[in-house]
Amino acid sequence: MKAYILIHIRTGEIREVVRQLRRAQGVSEAHMTFGPYDAVAVVEAEDVKAIGSIMADSIQPIPGVEETLTCLAVEE
C-alpha cells in the first residue's frame, strides 16, 4: 500500500525536515513542494495500520512538522 503525505512545515525548516523525511523508516521519497503544502512524502507499507504507525512514529515527531494530510493511493 502506498500513501502520499502532504506536510505543512514551520517557516525556515523545510530543507531540514525533508532531509529527515528521506531518512525516516517507511518513507520511500520526500520532496519540497510549491503550493499549499511545503513537502510531500511517499510512504509504502503493508496496510493502513502500518502507514499510521509510520506517521505517528517517524513523520509527525520530526521538529518543524506542523500538520499532515494523508492521501492513500488506490490501485487500479
Residue 75 has a pLDDT of 81
CATH of domain 2-72: 3.30.70.920
User: Given the DSSP bridges, would you call strands 65-72 and 2-9 parallel, antiparallel or unpaired?
Assistant: antiparallel
pLDDT of residue 47: 94
Please check whether residue 55 is in contact with residue 69, taking contact to mean a CB–CB distance below 8 angstroms: no
Q: Note the pLDDT of residue 70.
A: 97
On whether the CB atoms of residues 66 and 8 are closer than 8 A, the answer is: yes
| Residue ranges covered by each domain of the chain | 2-72
pLDDT in tens, 7-39: 999 999 999 999 999 999 999 999 999 999 999
pLDDT digits (tens, 9 = 90+) for 40-58: 999 999 999 999 999 999 9
